[in-house]
């Protein structure tokens, strides 16, 4: 899996855990391809009619690529999780400046804590399913 400790374990694991608890079917490193571009969405989740694309970013420079990939996958919501509020501000500016259409549900650019809170608040509570955590490291394999 691509990305470092902060990207994969600190930012994406909690989001994936939460989405699974909410009953979503998740998938890491989802390959998408559209005219002229191809890439991997860090995390995708399908929850009923919702198609949530989740990208973890440590800086704002790849945000326009995230938007293209979300559009290619026909996501209804793009969640860009960043480590701090400062990065969130710059990423939000990059989102505002980027061309192209947005998912119908919008683009959330949030630090980890607020992202978890908003996902929890905005999606209905469903029976939880436990993730496949590694028993020795505690991280998702």
Partner 1 sequence: MAPKPRPKFRGDDLWDDLVYGVTHDLFEDPVSRAALTAAHYGECDEEIANLIRNPVRRAKTREQLGLDDPFRIPRLGKPELILGQDAKSRSVGISRSWLNAGLLVTGNTGSGKTNLIKFLLLQMAASVEGLWATDLYKRDLRHLRPVLKRAGVDLVILTPRRIRRNILQPEGDVQTHMAVVLDTLQRALDLPPRAVTILRTALHDLYTQFGAFGGVRDAYPTLYDLFEYVRAATKVNAPARLAILDRLGALLISLTPEVAAYRYAWRPNDLAGHRIVFEMCGASEQVKSLLLGDLLFSTLYRRVQGGRSNSTMDLVVVLEDAQRLLSTGSGSSGDLPPIEELAGLIRGMGVSLWAACQSLDGLSRGLRANLATKVMCRLGAAGDYREFGADMGLTAPQLQWARLNSRPGVAITQLAEGPWRQPFIIKTPELKIPPVVNDAEVEESTKALESLRLIPAPEFANWTPYQTVEVTQPKKASEDSEQGQAPTSGETRYLRAVLDHPGRPSSAYASLAKMGVQRAIRIRQSLVEKGYLREHTVATGGRGRNAIVLEPTAATERLFSENAQGGKQ
Among 3, 10, 23, 39, binds partner 1 (CB under 8 A): 10
Distance, in Å, from the CA atom of 16 to the CA atom of 37, rounded to the nearest integer, reads 25
CB of 83 to partner 1, least distance (A): 4
- Does position 3 interact with partner 1 (CB under 8 A)? The reply is no
Q: Taking the complex as a whole, how short is the minimal distance between the CB of residue 19 and partner 1, in angstroms?
A: 16
Q: Quick count: other Cβ atoms within 10 Å of Cβ 116?
A: 16
Could you tell me the smallest distance in angstroms from the CB atom of residue 37 to partner 1?
25
Whichever of 84 and 96 has its CB closer to partner 1, that residue is: 84
Residues 89-108 that bind partner 1 (CB under 8 A): none
**According to CB under 8 A, which residues from 117 to 136 bind partner 1?**
117
- Please report whether residue 113 would count as binding partner 1 according to CB under 8 A: yes
Of 10 and 98, the one with the shorter C-beta distance to partner 1 is: 10
Contacts with partner 1 in 61-90 (CB under 8 A)? 83-85, 88
What 3 state SS string does the chain have? CCCCHHHHHHHHHHHHHHHHHCCCEEEEEEEEEECCEEEEEEEEEEECCEEEEEEECCCCCCHHHHHHHHHHCCCCEEEEEECCHHHHHHHHHHHHHCCCCCCCCCEEEEEHHHHHHHHHHHCCCCCCCCCCECCCCCCEC
Give contact residues for partner 1 (rule: CB under 8 A): 4-6, 9-11, 13-14, 83-85, 88, 111-114, 117, 137-139
């Amino acid at each position: 899996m691509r990305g470092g400790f902060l990207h994969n374990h600190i930012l994406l694991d909690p989001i994936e855990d939460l989405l699974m608890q909410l009953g979503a079917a998740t998938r890491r490193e989802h390959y998408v391809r559209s005219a002229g571009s191809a890439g991997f969405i860090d995390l995708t989740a399908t929850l009923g009619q919702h198609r949530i694309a989740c990208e973890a970013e440590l800086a704002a420079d790849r945000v326009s690529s995230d938007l293209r990939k979300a559009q290619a996958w026909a996501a209804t919501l793009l969640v860009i999780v960043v480590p701090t509020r400062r990065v969130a501000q710059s990423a939000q500016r990059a989102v505002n400046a980027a061309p192209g259409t947005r998912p119908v549900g919008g683009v959330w650019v949030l630090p980890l804590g607020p992202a978890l809170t908003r996902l929890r608040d905005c999606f209905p509570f469903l029976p939880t399913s436990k993730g496949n955590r590694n028993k020795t490291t505690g991280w998702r394999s």
